[in-house]
Every structure is written in C-alpha cells, then in structure tokens.
A and B are shown apart, each in its own frame.
Chain A
C-alpha cells in the first residue's frame, strides 16, 4: 500500500502539473481539494481520467469522487480494492 501511495503522489504531480510540489510535500492524509493541494474542478476530471488510464477504474457515479479524492489515503484505498490493471 505504501508503494501505491508514493506512486500515486508522483502521478498526481505529473498529470496535474504541480510544478512546485514534490512527492515528499504531500502527506497521505492531506486534503487534495480546498485548503490542501488546492486542486480545482478540472483537476478532479483529470484524476478520474488517471484512475481509468492507469488502474482501469471507471467511475460510473461522479458523486463517488468526493469521498475517493479526499486524500492520497482514500484514493489508494479505493484503487487497491477496485483496480483492474
């Protein structure tokens, strides 16, 4: 699980072009939206694409995103349980 979290942080930084953020800057429990990394609605869509492209997970209900994308912890947990690749 720790390996997945580190991998996930790297992918988030890469796909969201978080230029001044390093993997070490993101705590597993940091809020991704709001006061945490300050991501926006387009970033949320990019994270949905990331789940599909990298882990074969298609989110059928966008409302699920709010809890899944709460933090790296919640994302990694969801990926571990639902990944198809």
Chain B
C-alpha cells in the first residue's frame, strides 16, 4: 500500500438516531423501527417508491448508504463490504411464519426475495448504479479486521475507487448500522482502531 486510505464520511443509525460524521441529521427516539425508518426516509425527501417494498434490513442499509452516497459522483466503481450477525433472520422468521400452517399456506413472494442478507447490497447497488465488487459476511461478533482488510485489498488492487463498508445488523427491534466510505482522500485514517471506535461507540 503506497498511500494512506481514509474514512472520508461515516453514517450511524441506532436507537432512533441517524448521524453523519458525528452530526445528528434525524432522530425519532420512541418510534418502533418500521415507523422510525419510514419517517427518516421521508425526512430525506427521497422519491424512491421501491423503498417501501424492502424488508427492514434493506431499509436500514439503504438509508445509511443513501445519506453517504447521494452527493457522490461516478458511483459505478464503489464497492460494498457489509457485515452483520443475524443475516436475514428477521425476514426469514416472517417467511417461516407464513408457511407454518398448512391450512393457511400463503408464502409472500415479496417477503421471500429478502431471505438473503446480501439483497440489501443489491438494493444499494441498483439505487446508485454501482457495478463493483460486493460482499456480505455474517459473523457472530463484529470484527473490524475483516472489514479493514477487505476494503484495503479492494482499493490496493484497484478493483474499486471507493469502498462503502461496515456493520448493518437488524433483528426485530434491535438494529444498528455503521457504514464508512473509504477512499484515498479524507482526514480520518482508515485503520482497524478507527473502525472499531466508530462501530462500538
């Protein structure tokens, strides 16, 4: 690696609060997730009806990516490295409930298509026209080293110009997203320690 990499911007969504680079941009503390994320989406004044059809994990990842990427240009070569603990379990449970009763067996195709965690990466890629590498790891515990190494590799090998990476966890009412945009310019160094601080604090 001949030049340092930086976390140029980061977004956190947790406990009814959305912040960008440490500055709160939206909060709705008491609302359940589905209401909170809908309010946040409308607050961003986005015109994207597909959002309402997404599962909750995709809504979470989509909105975190949106606030970081909406003003970016040339997004085709931005890669995605996402990690969480629960995979798509939140939607898996909903799908399972719809096929539990043989006498009332009506699985929803619109729910079923989200029973893969990496679909949220697809939603982000479609929205922003990203055609670079994309990966979604499911890990029991947050591991900053994996994110750091993968993002560094993608940039060092010139497989991507920028990398959007981080943690997007959701199961029922427990949710947390911390996404970082890593590139060759910025002020906060792309290090394992800095990623850990952003995600764990």
Where the two chains meet, the residues of A that have a C-beta atom closer than 8 Å to any C-beta of B are 15-20, 38, 42-43, 45-46, 49, 52-53
Contacts and interface: CB of A to CB of B under 8 A. Distances in A.
Interface residues of A, dominant DSSP: helix
Q: Chain B interface mostly helix, strand, loop or mixed? A: helix
B108 A49 contact: yes
Interface of B: 38, 49, 52-53, 106-110, 113
Contact of A46 (B38, B49, B52, B108): B108
A43 B113 CA distance: 11
A19 B106 contact: no
Contacts, number: 30
Contact of B106 (A38, A43, A49): A49
Contacts of A52: 106
A6 to B, nearest CB: 22
A17 B106 contact: no
Contacts of A49: 106-109
B50 to A, nearest CB: 9
A18 B49 contact: yes
B106 A46 contact: no
B62 to A, nearest CB: 14
Contacts of A16: 53, 110
Contacts of B38: 19
